[in-house]
Amino acid sequence: MTPDRLHLLDGFRLLHDGEPVPVPRGLQRIVAIVGLHPGATRGHLAGSLWPETSEERALSCLRTAIWRLRRSRCCPILAAGDTVRLDPVVTVDVDELIRSVSEVRAGADPRCAREVLAAGGYDLLPGWYEDWVLLDRERLRQLRLHALEELARAHLRAAEHGDALQAALEAMRAEPLRESPHRLIVEIHLAEGNAYEALHAFYVYRDLLRQDLAVEPSPTMCTLVADILGPITARWSTV
């Protein structure tokens, strides 16, 4: 019997028939890295999981961990020769997120990817600080940020302004100092004819940059609201 679902976003969870499978923390590391790196060699896994020990000792630790996992009635991994991988019946939430991102980039209907991308708002294995986790966490964070922006642009092109704004706001929440989602928010408000909302979004971002980084928005960002600010600036200069 094999678990059929591995969750790595928002924490480690292994499910079989919808029920949690208890896995000791030390063995969770094996399952998680195999789920993130399909078909990894024993040498790669051992070096990533026990980087401060000798190669021989690390490989011995890996063999022991695999042996312990195989004693479980719901062992999720398969080891053949030098390769360790998840059993094919196990699905991984990270794989679904990556697949959804690929579909968005390929021009698929953005509504098909919205649910999975929203679920991807959780960090990869929060509270884990190994180097291999940090690298994959940042990789997934960047993938999701770009996908959310692509979603927002796709909805904006289709004049689906509410959905576009939702995706842009989600990207902004994920990385508040990143300019591109703020630009999208301004563009969406302008497309709806909401000059006040566009200006408000611009000034919120400008003040955030000044406070946290002591810099100004880019010329590209300023150009978006130049047509609105021009008449206002001219009016004040004549007073």
pLDDT at 80: 86
Q: Is 103 exposed, middle or buried (0-12, 13-18, 19+ CB in 10 A)?
A: middle
Which residues touch 207 (CB under 8 Å, ≥6 apart)? Answer: none
Q: What's the whole-number average pLDDT of the chain?
A: 89
pLDDT in tens, 153-193: 999 999 999 999 999 999 999 999 999 999 999 999 999 99
SS3 175: coil
pLDDT at 10: 92
Judge contact between 94 and 140, C-beta under 8 A. yes
pLDDT at 36: 95
pLDDT at 232: 52
pLDDT in tens, 93-118: 999 899 888 888 887 777 777 777 77
pLDDT at 103: 85
- Reading phi first (left if > 0) and then psi (alpha if -120 to 50, else beta), residue 13 is in beta
pLDDT at 236: 46
Give the residue ranges of the chain where pLDDT is below 50: 233-239
Name the helix (H) or strand (E) containing 87: none
